[in-house]
Structure 1
């Protein structure tokens, strides 16, 4: 699908807590604020619905595909606010009682689900007393996903996927992607080191916009996330950044800008491998 008109997009940054209802209420308020500001596509961060005290807490609220309070919330919010809404991630049922899929769902302005992406790459990191292993509670997805929106082809991804450029290159090469979505909960340590560099690299090498919605602050469960939600243009320029705390970053995906960058430097057409 080729973009025919500019589209206003927004990334929502949260500092998600441990209570599902409170988190959904805050998300709804921020979606409403983004919509009032003219956003037509809104992206929520990874784990927007809950960041529990324990990694296993997500298993307790996992939902069956097509049924559950978080999915109902997303569909209803998209319809009420008349936006394309991508729900960062929520825990979805898998055939393993101890794990979930970490799933990103996209809804159109009528509240119809248009895409589901299960996070493929699972984060693992150890440095001193800081240690993470998502594979203990998450089952990896297998299939890259993109969907069509008024701004063009939109590629879905989640957090640790950002470190694997082959995912995006495959999507961009096949589908002429206009926008990459990156909901995340980057740790403070890894975010400070690599977050902006990686986002700008993905935009530059795929000559498309990148919209990144992050968790950003000190959470009830004691975890600290990096934040710095941002929108990056196809030349790698930052169009807006929110360093920390709750809020919104917005901007426009402009097909004229996309065409200009790709015409001036036709790197995607120059691929030989």
Structure 2
């Protein structure tokens, strides 16, 4: 006799008619009960009653609402990992940072079609147990912020010299050779999932992606396996451009697209990171 079990997922964007996308979603968005409660408060979350590979009933939760969405659906996989949801919370004594001056020995990536340079966004200290899996000492986050693109794969085999490994389509000229510096804000990791701090912009979600548009779980171009989510960095009006005296850039704050998020994924074996602004 097959025993039913309850599984939880952060988010709601699962499309069972698309097998590969379903596998990617299940593999990336599995959470424990604590993560489930956080997601249903800030956006939506799913509760699955499963027997073997069959979804007996699937419910979508949003705050106190519970809606039956699916019954008797065959799942493409029987089991998947539950990921720990945690936050990067603003703290002046935190060991992680967004903004600040570029680390002394960091070489920014270049590309022959680039019309504006990569910008330094911040650094995660991977001696923190929450980021130990990244398998390097420090992850320096860089991105061509003023060059519209569809996402960047970077090789961090040398963490101080990340390089572009895929052909990139750049779409527009922007601020050639201008290196932005942002005011520095430090962060600490915390397992306390404070919904109010997240909504106010004082914390960043880590461990499981929270999408506002269609989900896109990237595959590592070397291993072809789904990449693991690191965190998303929000646009932040409190993080300001500090070297824009001649108004070279029109934005005076850290902004991704239209006040959106920079989504970060990583493969610790191949040391490939994918960074993309969610539209």
- Tell me the TM-score normalized by structure 1: 0.25
Larger Rg: 2
Q: Which has the higher helix share?
A: 1
- Tell me the TM-score normalized by structure 2: 0.25
Q: Which has the higher strand share?
A: 2
State the structure with bigger RCO (CA 8 A, min sep 6), 1 or 2.
1
